[in-house]
Structure 1
Amino acid sequence: KQYVNIKLKVTFPLNEVASSSLSLSLSFSLIFYFFLSFSSEMAEPSFYIGVIGNVISILVFLSPVETFWKIVKRKSTEEYKSLPYICTLLGSSLWTYYGIVTPGEYLVSTVNGFGALVEIIYVSLFLFYAPRHLKLNTILVVAILNVFFPIVAIAATRSAFKDEKTRSQSMGFICAGLNIIMYGSPLSAMKTVVTTKSVKYMPFWLSFFLFLNGAIWGVYASLQHDVFLLVPNGVGFVFGTMQLILYGIYRNAKPIGLSNGSSEITPDEEEGLTSRAPLLS
């Protein structure tokens, strides 16, 4: 079996599911790029930065593919959790709406629209293979976070504000706030590294992509003069930088106090790692 290693503590096996998902995303990016290549807006530096950000974000969205390939293959969710994907679906959905109602932010809406579609597939697979008691709990959480909350947020901004710019700003505030809250995971990872003197729970490539994703979208936000994109991605860039520094300090250190005394990542730990980088945009 061949592997394409993207090193988000996730390897993409070239099976039918992973390869077709990756092909779909790359095809989407290429079609989107060539379609917009006829637009005069392509001359703007922010366009090129945004396209790069789209590609990076698509790869991050696809990072849990192997986790769900295992779920499908074993026909069981085992110890895997659905909450990270439900939260990512919430963020992607709201960012998609923000990109639609904000002039010039189509690159934000396209990548997050793709991300929302991918997360819907992840959550659907989880619901299909989850045991009955877990399935009912997951449906309840999905109904609250992915149906009720977005409807209320969109309806509230549209009814409270008549001006499109104010609606866009209020939605941007909500999206940025959710992203910042989700940065609790990288903070937790950094605390664990310092406590255990082990980078087991903070793989280099995951930290690097958090850093790179924040940097690219931070530059894009600066060029677009979009503070709602700039703040959360600036925070992501800072956290990514801090994680890379910690990795350099502790990568050769002798681990202490690990729960299983092993440097190997268990399946449950692996699933948790794929959700440590909040997306994005």
Structure 2
Amino acid sequence: MEAPSFFVGVVGNIISVLMFLSPVGTFWRIVKNKSTEEFESLPYICTLLNSSLWTYYGITKPGSYLVATVNGFGIVVEIIYISLFLIFAPPRMRGKTAILAGILDVGFLAAAVLVTHLALHGDMRIDAIGFLGAGLNIIMYCSPLAAMRTVVATKSAEYMPFLLSFFMFLNGGVWTLYAVLEQDWFLGVPNGAGFVLGTIQLVLYAIYRPAKHVSVDLEDGWPQSEHLLPSSSPEDNKNEEWSISRQK
């Protein structure tokens, strides 16, 4: 089963890279508008912690370099996203982001690495990191729940990026298949949960997808449209009236 699992792992890496890059459009909007608007930072904070632990897992477990490489790429990308949040978020969101990133991505990660590296050895260390990674993987997939709640409350999916939801759905499905082939349930259980949650997000997006903005005239309530023909000048109107009077 080594050849099929390797092929699925490569496909999983490609999809994971696309998942990490999928919020680029969102952050381009944030930079362009110089505001994070109603977007949440928690998914990116959780993804950074998740990528860090899975990189550690991939380095520690023999033969898991596919897991380590793609998550190492994820670390770089998520750091950029969180940095942009800290630059463009309003003060309250900036403080919340800084506190959560400090607790989870610095404090918790450092404690997990130190404890597992110093206190555990061999398979026990790998299992401990796997349990932590599995739990945090589920948290990462659940982190858009806040955005999903906003979608239901506002009946609009504007602040739940479609590409992120779509690639989380694909990522969960492919890595679940890889885990089955490799019989690695530390990867299988959380990614199976991610596949289900990604499906729910896509269903919500289909129900509450953002409507196209239409300019509306406030006086009569009808959508405004551009004139298809150039408007007549006052001189043209006078000529038209004179022509009608002659016909009479």
Task: With the length of structure 1 as denominator, give the TM-score of the two structures.
Answer: 0.63
1:88 equivalenced with 2:35 (yes/no): no
Choose which of 197, 213, 216 in structure 1 pairs with 2:171.
213
Q: What does the per-residue CA deviation read over 1:86-133, in whole Å, with 9 as the maximum and x for residues that have no partner?
A: 111111111111111011111111111101100001111222233455
Report the number of matched residues. 211
Any residues of structure 2 matched to 1:153-232 within 5 Å, and which?
153-161=112-120, 163-185=121-143, 200=157, 208-232=166-190
Q: What does the per-residue CA deviation read over 1:219-259, in whole Å, with 9 as the maximum and x for residues that have no partner?
A: 21122221100111122234445666x57xx95x7x7xxxx
Task: Provide the secondary structure at the position in 2 that maps to 1:81.
Answer: coil
- Structure 1 residues 174, 73: CA separation in 2 closer, same or farther (over 3 Å shift)? same
Distance 1:204 1:78 in 2: 17
Cα pair 2:171 2:195 within 8 Å, conserved? yes
RMSD of Structure 2 on Structure 1 (CA): 3.4
1:51 equivalenced with 2:10 (yes/no): yes
Distance 1:240 1:146 in 2: 23
Letter in 2 for 1:229: L
- Name 1:65's counterpart in structure 2: 24
Task: Provide the secondary structure at the position in 2 that maps to 1:44.
Answer: helix
Letter in 2 for 1:113: G
- Name 1:114's counterpart in structure 2: 73
Distance 2:110 2:161 in 1: 36
Greater Cα radius of gyration, structure 1 or 2: 2
Choose which of 60, 65, 75 in structure 1 pairs with 2:34.
75
Q: What does the per-residue CA deviation read over 1:154-209, in whole Å, with 9 as the maximum and x for residues that have no partner?
A: 11112221x2221111011011011223443566788899x79x784788866653
Same amino acid, percent of matched pairs = 58
Could you tell me how far 1:63 is from its partner in structure 2? 1.1
- Structure 1 residues 189, 221: CA separation in 2 closer, same or farther (over 3 Å shift)? same
Unaligned runs of 5+ in 1: 1-40, 256-261, 267-281
Unaligned runs of 5+ in 2: 214-248
Could you tell me how far 1:58 is from its partner in structure 2? 0.8
- Name 1:15's counterpart in structure 2: none
Task: With the length of structure 2 as denominator, give the TM-score of the two structures.
Answer: 0.70
- Structure 1 residues 181, 135: CA separation in 2 closer, same or farther (over 3 Å shift)? closer
Q: What does the per-residue CA deviation read over 1:46-81, in whole Å, with 9 as the maximum and x for residues that have no partner?
A: 211111111111111111111211222233334333
Cα pair 1:46 1:224 within 8 Å, conserved? yes
